[in-house]
């Protein structure tokens, strides 16, 4: 029996988190599939701890990370580095995930080499090419090239059909990020963080987890977010503990640190490893974020999410009531955060532990499809 040769290509932590359950499932079929891993290292520093924790070893490392590189520089480096790997390995298919520039470039490179492409987390759209940037167009590119589309939700599936993808090539699987959450231990090795969380709970302070790093929020929008956080901190200083892991990107750090350093109730931290991020998320009262992944993860823990973006390619949780778009207007952010801190009924309405993105079995479905085995689609509500 010839083994299915699969080459997985990824470069950021979110990609690794969502592909990891698929890798584990492929290991159960060692006689039928051979997996090779190509790391582009688009975001090496945030990716490295996760790879180490789950013992994910790359067969190839393109080492493309450069300081403050642009999307076009990332794409050109992926093109240059990946093609020799494809020529050497001659995989049956290339597997990509999500909306990174790595994913889009890898899809095009595979297409140029006449290799099938499997797209995990396919079909997410805002239909606004500038928001999120460059992720929206990266997804469109990947969707145009992919041969197998693993859609996490009904909306994602409908978006693909709308784009002209044949229904027979779309597989409703759920999102493997929910699988990953089931594999993540509820712990952190960060003693300082653990102490911070425990002190907050002992003193009755509500933890607010904040993350912000999207390119479209660089500059004035991020300044507005920081000023909103200062206003919340001033009003609720004795009642909240705001934990803000600051992204390594200098466009983020050069805004956040001058505006938020020295405040009593705001803790600016280095980027957290994934275990620690999930540890805080589980214990937070609410989450403010522009992250796509956290919009999927926090509802699993019944945590209300205020999304610091004008549009989202993940509208399912908005419809489910666990996520609300608040944009980057300072007054709007302060108003919605205050409401969730003071209005118990409003908080409980959003805190329903409803997650429309998966049931923890997406990886099983994805691998079954890849290997031509029987499978049952995800019973999605949205």
Task: Give the residue numbers annotated as catalytic, written as ranges.
Answer: 99, 121, 135, 213, 215, 247
Task: Return the half-sphere exposure (C-beta side, CA atoms, 13 A cut-off) of residue 382.
Answer: 16
Q: Is-contact 364 25, C-beta < 8 A?
A: yes
What are 325's strand-pairing partners?
A: 307
The tokens of 375 are what? 């499978």
Question: Helices marked H in the chain — which ranges?
Answer: 13-27, 44-53, 71-89, 101-112, 135-145, 154-162, 176-183, 191-202, 220-235, 250-260, 274-283, 292-297, 316-320, 330-342, 344-350, 362-370
Give the Cα separation of 366 and 364 in Å (integer). Answer: 6
CA angle 326, 332, 336 (to 5 degrees): 75
Give one DSSP letter per residue of 69-112, joined into a string. --HHHHHHHHHHHHHHHHHHH--SEEEEETT-HHHHHHHHHHHH
CA distance linking residue 373 with residue 366, whole number of Å: 10
Find all residues with CB under 8 Å of 219, minimum gap 6, and list them. Answer: 251, 255
């Amino acid at each position: 029996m010839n083994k299915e040769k699969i080459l997985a290509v990824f470069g950021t932590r979110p990609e690794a988190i969502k592909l990891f359950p698929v890798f584990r499932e492929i290991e159960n079929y060692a006689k039928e599939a051979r997996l090779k891993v190509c790391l582009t290292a688009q975001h090496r520093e945030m990716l490295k701890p996760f790879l180490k924790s789950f013992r994910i070893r790359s067969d190839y490392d393109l080492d493309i990370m450069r300081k403050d590189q642009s999307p076009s520089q990332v794409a050109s480096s992926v093109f240059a580095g990946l093609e020799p790997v494809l020529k050497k390995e001659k995989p049956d298919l290339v597997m990509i995930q999500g909306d990174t520039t790595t994913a889009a470039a890898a899809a095009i490179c595979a297409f140029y080499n006449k290799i099938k492409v499997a797209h995990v987390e396919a079909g997410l759209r805002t239909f606004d090419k500038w928001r999120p940037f460059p992720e929206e167009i990266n997804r469109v590119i990947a969707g145009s090239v992919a041969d197998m589309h693993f859609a996490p939700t009904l909306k994602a599936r409908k978006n693909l059909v709308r784009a002209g993808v044949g229904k027979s090539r779309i597989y409703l699987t759920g999102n493997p990020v929910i699988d990953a959450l089931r594999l993540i231990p509820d712990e952190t090795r960060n003693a300082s963080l653990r102490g911070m969380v425990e002190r907050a709970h002992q003193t009755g302070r509500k933890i607010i987890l904040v993350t912000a790093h999207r390119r479209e929020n660089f500059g004035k929008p991020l300044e507005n977010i920081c000023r909103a956080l200062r206003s919340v901190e001033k009003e609720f200083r004795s009642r909240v503990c705001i934990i803000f892991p600051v992204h390594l990107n200098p466009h983020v750090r050069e805004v956040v640190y001058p505006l938020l350093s020295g405040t009593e109730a705001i803790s600016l931290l280095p980027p957290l490893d994934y275990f620690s991020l999930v540890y805080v998320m589980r214990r937070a009262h609410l989450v403010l974020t522009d992250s796509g992944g956290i919009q999927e993860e926090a509802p699993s823990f019944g945590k209300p999410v205020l999304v610091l973006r004008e549009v989202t390619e993940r509208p399912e949780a908005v419809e489910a009531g666990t996520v609300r778009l608040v944009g980057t207007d300072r007054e709007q952010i302060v108003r919605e955060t205050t409401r969730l801190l003071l209005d118990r009924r409003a908080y409980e309405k959003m805190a329903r532990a409803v997650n429309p993105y998966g049931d923890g079995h997406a990886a099983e479905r994805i691998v079954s499809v890849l290997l031509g085995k029987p499978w049952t689609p995800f019973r999605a509500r949205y």
